[in-house]
Structure 1
Amino acid sequence: MYRALLYKEWIKSRWYLAAALVVLLAFSTYAMVRLYRALAMMGAGHIWEVMVMRHAVFVEQMEYLPLLAGLLLAVVQFAPEMHRKCLKLTLHLPLSALRTTGMMLSFGVAALALLFGASFAVIVASASPVLARELVAQIVGMLLPWYAAGWAAYLFAAWVILEPTWRRRLVNILMSVLLLRIFFLAPVPCAYAGFLPFLTGVALLASLLVWLSVVRFTAGKQD
């Protein structure tokens, strides 16, 4: 049963995941091409100075990509379930609603982990040979909150989509926007170094909120 449920999620999202992977890898590669071009034109010493003194990280164009990837994955996964009235059938499988929802969310979280991991690997593998370890860590410190925002956006979007009433859905959207804003308050590398556990907690909170929407849906709440 678990395998069939995961296969259903894969069938729904496979083309989107392929497209998202291509886009993330393209932007990651472009960022590293910019870095290598700058190194060739200005020299390693100047680039290192710019990264230290001006906090340049050469991956700024990726800031909202993980968030967008998570948001769209939730739409691909859950919007058809709500539009076609299929969610009630899915929740009536011989599994508890909590396990069914948990499997669907786990698939999305794992898929995003693969997408973000591939992007992260391209950037770190490309930057490590030409930058000092501390400068690579500076890039990583900039990327991690953005990846965390992608997971949080996925879970918040699922919370909004699975909510059965529009009045509550609008409240959920407002709360989601305010909470996601936390991930983008500090434009300085490693500014979130001691704050990442809190951001992780925000993402975990989002997964619990999804369950509240499912409970309301199974209870028959509607406009």
Structure 2
Amino acid sequence: MWKAMLYKEWIKTRWYLLAAFAVLGGFAGYALVKLHRAAALMGAGHIWEVMVTRNAVFIDQMEYLPLLVGLLLAAVQFVPEMQRKCLKLTLHLPVPALATLTAMAGCGTAALLLLFGLCILLLAAGASPVLPHELVWNILSTALPWCLAGVAAYLFGAWTILEPTWKRRLVNILMSVLLLRIYFLAPGPRAYGGFLPVLALLTLASAALSWLSVVRFMAGRQD
């Protein structure tokens, strides 16, 4: 049963995940090409000075990319469930509904963590030949809140899509926008510092919101 459920999620999302991996890799590669080109033209010392004095990280164009990737994954994974009326059938499998939802959301979350993790590794590996590890960490610490925002956007998207009434969906969207703003309040390197674990816990806690929508769906809530 579990294998069949996981396979269904993979079938729904595999092409999107491959496309998302290509886009994330492309943006990360472009940022690294800019970094290496600037180092070749102006010297590594000048790049280090710019990064220290101006808080440059060379990945600014990626700021909202994980957010978009997470939202689109939620749409790809859950919109068909609602449009084709498949969710009711899925929740009536001989498996507890909470376990079913956890498996579905867990698949998406794990896929995002893998995608973002590979992107972080690519940035670290590409920047290390040019920058000392302190400046590499500046880049990565800037990207980490964006990656958490991508996971949170996926979970908020699932919460909104699985909600059976449009009035509540609008409320969910408003609350999601306000909560996601937290991830972009401090764009500078190491700006979140010790707050990153709190941000990670907030992201983890948002996974429970989808269950509220599923409970309302199972109770037959309608517009």
TM-score interval (norm. to shorter): over 0.9
Alpha-carbon separation, structure 2, partners of 1:196 and 1:118: 19
Structure 1 residue 205: Cα displacement? 2.3
Q: Give % identity.
A: 67
Structure 1 residue 197: Cα displacement? 1.8
Aligned to 1:78: 78
Aligned to 1:25: 25
Structure 1 residue 193: Cα displacement? 1.2
Amino acid corresponding to residue 170 of structure 1 in structure 2: L
How many residues get paired? 223
CA distances 1:141-184 after superposition (whole Å, capped 9, x unpaired): 10100000000000000000000011111000000000001100
Q: Does 2:142 align with 1:142?
A: yes
Structure 1 residue 70: Cα displacement? 0.5
Task: Report SS of the residue matched to 1:194.
Answer: helix
Task: Report SS of the residue matched to 2:140.
Answer: helix
Alpha-carbon separation, structure 2, partners of 1:111 and 1:201: 19
Structure 1 residue 196: Cα displacement? 1.0
Alpha-carbon separation, structure 2, partners of 1:153 and 1:181: 11
Task: Report SS of the residue matched to 2:193.
Answer: coil
Alpha-carbon separation, structure 2, partners of 1:29 and 1:49: 22
Alpha-carbon separation, structure 2, partners of 1:200 and 1:217: 28
CA distances 1:73-112 after superposition (whole Å, capped 9, x unpaired): 0000000000111100000011011000000001001110
TM-score by length of 1: 0.99
Structure 1 residue 218: Cα displacement? 0.7
Structure 1 residue 203: Cα displacement? 1.1
Residues 33-112 of structure 1: pairs in structure 2 closer than 5 A: 33-112=33-112
Alpha-carbon separation, structure 2, partners of 1:206 and 1:222: 23
Alpha-carbon separation, structure 1, partners of 2:114 and 2:191: 25
Amino acid corresponding to residue 212 of structure 1 in structure 2: L
Moved more, 128-137 or 150-159: 128-137
Cα RMSD for the two superposed structures: 0.7
CA distances 1:16-37 after superposition (whole Å, capped 9, x unpaired): 0010000000000000000000
Q: Does 2:190 align with 1:190?
A: yes
Task: Report SS of the residue matched to 2:129.
Answer: coil
Alpha-carbon separation, structure 2, partners of 1:109 and 1:204: 10
Amino acid corresponding to residue 184 of structure 1 in structure 2: F
Residues 183-222 of structure 1: pairs in structure 2 closer than 5 A: 183-222=183-222
Structure 1 residue 201: Cα displacement? 2.2
Alpha-carbon separation, structure 2, partners of 1:143 and 1:163: 30
Amino acid corresponding to residue 97 of structure 2 in structure 1: A
Structure 1 residue 206: Cα displacement? 1.4
Amino acid corresponding to residue 85 of structure 2 in structure 1: K
Alpha-carbon separation, structure 1, partners of 2:116 and 2:197: 18
Structure 1 outlier segments of 4+, above 4 Å? none
Task: Report SS of the residue matched to 1:221.
Answer: coil
Structure 1: runs of 5+ lacking an equivalent: none
Moved more, 19-28 or 191-200: 191-200
Amino acid corresponding to residue 125 of structure 1 in structure 2: A
Structure 1 residue 121: Cα displacement? 1.2
Amino acid corresponding to residue 195 of structure 1 in structure 2: F
Moved more, 137-146 or 198-207: 198-207
Alpha-carbon separation, structure 2, partners of 1:37 and 1:103: 44
